[in-house]
Amino acid sequence: MPTYQYVSFVNHSDPSGDWQNPGRAYDGDWGNYSWNQTFHAGWTNFLELILAATIWIDRIRFKYAQAFGGKKIDIDVYNSDLDVWQHVVEEVLPYHTQQTVIIPSTHTDRVRVRIDNIADEAYIYEVDVRQVIPDTPEPPPNPPEVYQTTTKTQETNKTQGGELTRMRMLHRITVIKPWVV
């Protein structure tokens, strides 16, 4: 069985520069927030959140708000294997409460978030992801022996009482090799 753990982001990208205190969106504190004060209706620019390494994830946990009530949140996950952004959610979800979205297991190193703004501030309190850690078998304490068997065939022609007789002899050789991790 795989194991799971929630992982926080370690960095961000905000090319528009619209997000204030973007580090608060991944600092582990669900009580403070990063905000986007664009003062116009419509989608904010994406805030891209970056993980320390490429990992497998299967859930995104977040908390967001909008100054005048529930508007849509849009979350995309970057699929590192396919080199594409995959759309995860775009809907109105209860805000000011922690939400979890289950996604197909994805190999990623980043997530991006934006909010459909009515006309004032949009807030991202926190975003993190659940890492899927696959089972990895532990090597046994005493390495097993690996056996490789080869067979050699030897054919001999002999004459017995005037008749030609063919004899076949099999020789088996077993080689023991050390186990290499």
The confidence score (pLDDT) of residue 75 equals: 96
Asked if residues 6 and 111 have their Cβ atoms less than 8 Å apart, the reply is no
Q: Average pLDDT for residues 62-73, to the nearest whole number?
A: 79
The confidence score (pLDDT) of residue 173 equals: 45
The token duo for 54 is 């490429």
Mean of the per-residue pLDDT values for the chain? 80
Domain spans in the chain, listed from the N-terminal domain onward: 3-133, 146-177
Tens digits of per-residue pLDDT, 137-152? 655 555 444 444 444 4
153 or 73, which is more confident?
73
Tens digits of per-residue pLDDT, 71-120? 789 999 999 999 999 999 988 877 788 999 999 999 999 999 999 877 67
- What is the topology classification, in CATH, of domain 3-133? Jelly Rolls (2.60.120)
The confidence score (pLDDT) of residue 146 equals: 44
The confidence score (pLDDT) of residue 181 equals: 39
Q: Average pLDDT for residues 3-28, to the nearest whole number?
A: 95
